A = this chain, B = another copy of it.
Amino acid sequence: MPLTPEQRDEIAHLRSEAVPTRRATVAALEDILYEAFPVLDHGFVRVIDYMGDDSAVVQAARVSYGRGTRKVSEDAGLIRYLMRHWHSTPFEMCEIKYHVKLPIFVARQWIRHRTANVNEYSARYSILDKEFYVPAPEHLSAQSTVNRQGRGEVLQGGEAARVMDLLREDSERAYRGYAEMLNQDEDGAPLDPSRSGLARELARMNLSLNYYTQWYWKVDLHNLMHFLRLRADSHAQYEIRAYADIMIDILERWVPLTADAFREYRLGGANLSATGLAIVRRMLAGETVAQADSGLSKREWRELMEQLGRSPEL
């Protein structure tokens, strides 16, 4: 259970109040504001604040068009056009702020996206809770044998049980060492009054990468979609994808037209290379093309055939 009773109270309090604003407001997002959406075993995503909506994207794009603009394009069409032609600045005019609780190894991937603002819980200053991630059995996968950076089959039987035990035991032990070095019990009282306790900024290094941290993360809509495209991708690690998937659901509440265009042009679809495009043209002209005379390596050929929904042998 990721929330403390104090957090639950605070959320209930924040959700109970509303004041009038002249700003762009999105009812479907207001509905879930401050709510914690659970992710993994102890994590969550909450929307804390937002700025703008689909209309703000359109309005920003139209600053550029000023006097004499034809009104032909309605909003959805314009948003699709902007997305298709990589006009990113109008999407930068919207902003969203999340409160996220996530394992440290996920935070380490996430932070690589530099075009966002972050305030993270400080383990130099405060003490981390005893909360660590252990994968659900269906996510406990073997190393992939074909992809060095991927997962294969789900572990079974004794091996699965042993891994689960190891993760739990080692995590528990790491926290015992942490608490002992800090010389603090769960209520913050000294375990041994004759000891000083190691500095928090040092003791934290005993914790493992599956311990949970939390942060505020604020990003504009363009950079959010860039993050989501990479992290909701099938090549992304499952644990960060779990966050991205929920954030895409939230995106649909916030900016439904933009979310549609995002699915059409970023999540779906395909980037064809120059050679790949030439092959498609030849095939459409009725030619039979084989990998050997395609100009593509075997790997590139396999990837292209997958995109085209065809068997690689053809």
Contacts and interface: CB of A to CB of B under 8 A. Distances in A.
Contacts of A207: 208-209
A43 interface: no
Interface string A190-202: 0000011111111
A240 to B, nearest CB: 10
Contacts of A280: 280, 284, 308
Given A20-B18, A56-B49, A170-B174, A126 B270 contact: no
Interface string A138-167: 001111100011111101000100110011
Contact of A49 (B24, B162, B200): B24
A20 B23 contact: no
B198 A209 contact: no
A272 B274 contact: no
A100 to B, nearest CB: 10
A33 interface: yes
Interface bracket on A: 35 or more
A196 B127 contact: no
Nearest to A198: B163
Contacts of A218: 92-93, 95, 220
Contacts of A169: 177
Q: Give the dominant DSSP class at A's interface.
A: mixed
A153 B22 contact: no
Contacts of A51: 49-51, 95, 97
B126 A69 contact: yes
Given A163-B198, A170-B177, A90 B63 contact: no
A106 to B, nearest CB: 9
A122 B148 CA distance: 11
Contacts of A105: 204-205
Max chain B Cβ within 10 angstroms of own Cβ: one of A66, A84, A170, A275: A170
Interface of A: 14-15, 17-25, 30, 33-34, 49-52, 56, 59-61, 63-70, 77, 80, 84-86, 89-90, 92-93, 95, 97, 99, 103-105, 108, 111-112, 114-115, 117-122, 124-127, 129, 133, 135, 140-144, 148-153, 155, 159, 162-163, 166-167, 169-171, 173-174, 177, 180-182, 188, 195-202, 204-210, 214-216, 218, 220, 230, 235, 237, 263-265, 267-277, 280-281, 283-284, 297, 300, 303, 307-310
